[in-house]
């Protein structure tokens, strides 16, 4: 059942529970997430990036997520969220198309420009009762380090975060506290969450926090983060890696198969199993 992201996040925030936001990009990933959420009975978010919107088309994305939520989701609350929207135009199109939550990511802009852009999206979203996530700080690795680490000067500054939330009125906030996007962190030293920083941000900012770069972060760290205001954990890379691994395995195993559905069935099953495991460990 596709429902309001605000309702899902508000409830979880009050109860210090985690909601997993999975990036989905096609029928296989979308169905797998909906089926997993239903199996576990955990409220879950589909998050859609700009690249996926370009790949599938906005209307197709919304129709696909709606249909999968309806058929495979049963009664479990599922929400549709725009991930890393970088322009007002994209956020407004997503809102008009039926997203109940958008992220406006102005984190690469100077603080003042980030505030202005985010406030513009918040004002528009309010009129449509849509939730808005903003971001201050950036998940960029420091160059020339032998191990991966987010440069501390790029991490979210608690005072700036408080000011950002006050000036923009965002409903939730993406924070940079040590995690990174992408697969590299999973093959090298895992990123370390700066819990001291997170604790201060939580004291200063009274909105749900969103942890980007959630793939590969150990479960105990995510549980600890949940006690410090983190309500949403974003996971993309782990699904992507599982998708391609299962596809390569099936293509090798079924060399003479000519029906793609026979090849992709086990891929969807593998993705569903991964999402079930994530939801069982994190969202219950």
Residue 214 contact, options ligand 13P, ligand G3H, Zn ion, none, Cβ 5-8 Å cut-off depending on partner type: ligand 13P
280 to 18, 37, 39, 150, 267: CA distances (angstroms): 11, 9, 10, 29, 20
Q: Which is nearer to Zn ion, 100 or 237 (CB)?
A: 237
Give the pairing type, strands 44-48 and 131-136: unpaired
Task: Provide the mask over 123-162, with x wherever binding to ligand 13P is found by CB under 6 A and - wherever it is not.
Answer: ----------------------------------------
Binding footprint of ligand G3H on the chain (CB under 6 A): 23, 49, 51-52, 83-84, 181, 236
- Contacts by 103-110, CB closer than 8 A, 24 or more apart: 103/47, 103/132, 103/133, 103/134, 103/135, 103/174, 103/210, 104/132, 104/133, 104/134, 105/134, 105/135, 105/174, 106/134, 106/135, 107/135, 107/136, 107/137, 107/138, 107/174, 107/176, 108/138
Give the range of 68-76, 142-150, 165-173, 212-220 binding ligand 13P by CB under 6 A: 212-220
Answer for which of 43, 212, 270, 276 binds Zn ion (CB under 5 A) is 212
| 214: contact with ligand 13P by CB under 6 A | yes
Residues facing residue 232 across a β-bridge: 19, 210
Q: Which is nearer to ligand G3H, 76 or 274 (CB)?
A: 274
The secondary structure element, H or E, covering residue 191 is: none
Task: Provide the mask over 63-82, with x wherever binding to Zn ion is found by CB under 5 A and - wherever it is not.
Answer: --------------------
| 29: contact with ligand 13P by CB under 6 A | no
The tokens of 55 are what? 């790949």
Q: Which is nearer to ligand G3H, 76 or 148 (CB)?
A: 148
Answer for which of 100, 107, 168, 215 binds ligand 13P (CB under 6 A) is 215
Q: What is the dihedral of CA 145, 146, 148, 151, to 10 degrees?
A: -20
Answer for which of 234, 272, 276, 278 binds ligand 13P (CB under 6 A) is 234
User: Shortest gap between Cβ of 232 and ligand 13P (angstroms)?
Assistant: 10
Answer for which of 38, 119, 162, 212 binds ligand 13P (CB under 6 A) is 212
Q: Which is nearer to ligand G3H, 76 or 230 (CB)?
A: 230
Active site residues: 83
Rg for the chain, CA atoms, rounded = 18
Give the closest residue to 163 by CA, choosing from 138, 136, 196, 200: 136
**Residues with Cβ within 8 Å of residue 241, at least 6 apart in sequence:** 183, 186
Contacts to Zn ion by CB under 5 A: 212, 234
Contacts to ligand 13P by CB under 6 A: 23, 83-84, 181-182, 212-215, 234-237
């Amino acid at each position: 059942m596709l429902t309001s992201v605000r309702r899902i996040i508000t409830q979880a925030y009050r109860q210090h529970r985690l909601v997993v936001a999975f990036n989905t990009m096609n029928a296989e990933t979308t169905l797998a997430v909906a089926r997993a959420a239903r199996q576990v009975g955990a409220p879950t978010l589909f998050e859609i990036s700009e690249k996926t919107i370009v790949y599938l088309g906005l209307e197709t994305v919304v129709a696909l997520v709606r249909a999968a939520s309806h058929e495979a989701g049963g009664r479990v609350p599922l929400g549709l969220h725009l991930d890393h929207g970088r322009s007002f135009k994209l956020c407004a199109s997503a809102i008009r198309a039926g997203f109940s939550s958008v992220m406006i990511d102005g984190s690469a802009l100077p603080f003042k420009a980030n505030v202005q852009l985010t406030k513009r999206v918040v004002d528009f979203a309010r009129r449509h009762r849509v939730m808005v996530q903003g971001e201050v700080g950036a998940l960029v690795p420091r160059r020339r380090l032998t191990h991966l680490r987010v440069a501390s000067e790029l991490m979210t500054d608690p005072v700036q975060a408080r000011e950002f939330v006050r000036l923009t009125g965002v409903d939730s906030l993406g924070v940079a506290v040590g995690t990174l996007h992408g697969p590299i962190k999973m093959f090298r030293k895992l990123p370390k969450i700066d819990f001291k920083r997170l604790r201060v941000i939580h004291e200063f900012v009274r909105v749900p926090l969103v942890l980007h770069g959630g793939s590969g972060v150990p479960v105990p760290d995510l549980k600890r983060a949940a006690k410090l205001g983190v309500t949403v954990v974003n996971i993309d890379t782990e699904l992507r890696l599982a998708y391609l691994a299962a596809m390569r395995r099936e293509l090798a195993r079924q060399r003479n198969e000519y029906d793609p559905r026979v090849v992709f069935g086990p891929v969807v099953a593998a993705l569903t199993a991964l999402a079930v495991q994530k939801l069982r460990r994190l969202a219950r």
